[in-house]
Amino acid sequence: MKNRRLLAAVLVMTVVMSFFSACGSSAPKETAAAETTAAETTAAETKEETTAAETTEAATEPETEAKKEFPIEGEYTLFAAEEEGDRVASADMEMESVITLEEGGKGSMSFDGDSMGITEWTLDGEEFFLKMDDGGEAGGTLKDGIIKLDIMGTGEMYLYLAQEGADTSDYEVMTLDELLAKRAGGSSGADTKTAAFYNGIDSTAGAHLNYELHLNSMDSDQIYDVHAKDGVYYSDCTTKVSGVEDETITVFKEGKAYNLDPKDKTGVVATQTDSSIVTANPLLMDSLYSLLWSMAQNSEFTEEERELDGKTYTAEIFAEDGVNPETVLYFDGDGKLVCVEAGKDTVYTIHAIDEKADDSLFDISAYEIK
């Protein structure tokens, strides 16, 4: 899927679902060459449906209840999202989305409050395609009043939207609790050093991450000291770029995320949520941890010996997948992670990943929250 704004809009789903399985992506699949306009499709389908109805009547099968016919144009409301075969009720993930298809191939799409225009939509048989007003594209199927939208273009992540009255009973969905139970609390079963290392991080019992993130494109460094325990998250980030240094502290506790200024001891509530996804494992807010999670689910990799700063390490290389660039993780002889290279721009240098979470950092009573 090539869509800057829509991709940002589905980031919520990506984060939610990547908590349970790997994220994958590639360029959008080409749409069928024999596409018709929306108006032509509607007319053609009306004719085909009439023929089908006549055939059914001639066959006289009274036991089979005829499916309700739906116009192509109309409003489709999100009812489920799927990631690599696991389909979850959208309401359980606190996701809302509506696609409105209008005559003439126009329409709109909203996702959790972000509204986008649809400049083109076509239907060729059941093959559905739409184009957003920023040039983004997505394909899928439309049948019996239900859109199955392949938002990443890989067949791994779908949104399911239905018109009012459409029969969704064939689309079995899980609750988040059922998905958590299926995935045994979110542990990865991939047979990799990355998965083994990731599974050793326990944000409930206590986790501490200290690392440096270097961005080549900006020649900037971000030094992180992260602590998590029992649903509370603390991140101290010092950014150094062009000779300027800035420090920001983020704390998540009791459903609220605070941005704190350690200089003047003030802070603001950046966001508030009751989402069980965030409260269950707020460490997913950390970029290194979330990257480790994504890589830990991937069993497709190559392994080789690579040199880094004059030392030889075992490297696991995960190919670019459309969401994540080629990612290389370097492990020492004891299985400890020392460095992560994500594409050509991002380098994580690991100083410590252990269980030494400092509970005292979770106390923000000294800050004036505005």
The letter for the amino acid at 100 is T
- Residue 366: pLDDT above 90? yes
With beta carbons less than 8 A apart as the criterion, state whether 38 and 122 touch.
yes
How many other CB atoms are there within 10 angstroms of residue 193's CB atom?
20
The letter for the amino acid at 202 is D
232/172 same-domain check: no
Domain that holds residue 353: 187-369
11/121 same-domain check: yes
Greatest extent of the chain over all pairs of C-alpha atoms, in Å: 81
Which residue is listed with tokens 């100083």? 351
Q: What is the pLDDT of residues 315-343, one digit of tens each?
A: 999 998 766 789 999 999 999 999 999 99
- Residue 344: pLDDT above 80? yes
Tell me how far apart the alpha carbons of residues 300 and 194 are, in angstroms, rounded to a whole number: 12
| Closest C-alpha to 90, from 195, 30, 171, 191 | 171
Three-state SS sequence of the chain: CECHHHHHHCHHHHHHHHCCCCCCCCCCCCCCCCCCCHHHHHHHHHHHHHHHHHHHHHHCCCCCCCCCCCCCCEEEEEEEEEECCEEEEHHHHCCCEEEEEECCCEEEEEECCEEEEEEEEEEECCEEEEEECCCCEEEEEEECCEEEEECCCCCCEEEEEECCCCCCCCCCCECHHHHHHHCHHHCCCCCCHHHHHHHCCCCCCCEEEEEEEEECCCCEEEEEEEEEECCEEEEEEEEEECCEEEEEEEEEECCEEEEEECCCCEEEEEEECCCHHHHHCHHHHCHHHHHHHHHHCCCCCEEEEEEECCEEEEEEEECCCCCCCCEEEEECCCCCEEEEEECCCEEEEEEEEECCCCHHHHCCCCCEEC
Q: Which of 119, 151, 179 is the last residue of a domain?
A: 179
Rounded to the nearest 5 degrees, what angle is found at the Cα of 222, between the Cα atoms of 193 and 247? 135
The percentage of residues in the chain with a pLDDT greater than 90, rounded to a whole number, is: 57
204/81 same-domain check: no
Report residue 160's pLDDT band, with 50, 70 and 90 as the boundaries: very high
158/242 same-domain check: no
60/142 same-domain check: yes
236/343 same-domain check: yes
Between 93-97, 214-218, 264-268, the lowest mean confidence (pLDDT) is in 93-97
With beta carbons less than 8 A apart as the criterion, state whether 83 and 22 touch.
no
211/343 same-domain check: yes
Residue range 74-102: average pLDDT? Answer: 88
C-alpha distance across the termini of the chain, in Å: 40
CATH of residue 215's domain is 2.50.20.10
126/231 same-domain check: no
171/225 same-domain check: no
Count of domains for the chain: 2
pTM recorded for the entire structure? 0.59
Q: What is the pLDDT of residue 258?
A: 95
Q: What is the pLDDT of residues 16-62, one digit of tens each?
A: 444 333 323 333 333 333 333 333 443 334 334 433 334 334 334 34
Q: What is the pLDDT of residues 99-132, one digit of tens each?
A: 999 999 999 998 877 788 999 999 999 999 999 9
CATH of residue 122's domain is 2.40.128.120
Q: Which of 135, 159, 179 is the last residue of a domain?
A: 179
174/290 same-domain check: no
152/194 same-domain check: no
44/107 same-domain check: yes
The letter for the amino acid at 19 is F
Q: Which of 137, 161, 179 is the last residue of a domain?
A: 179
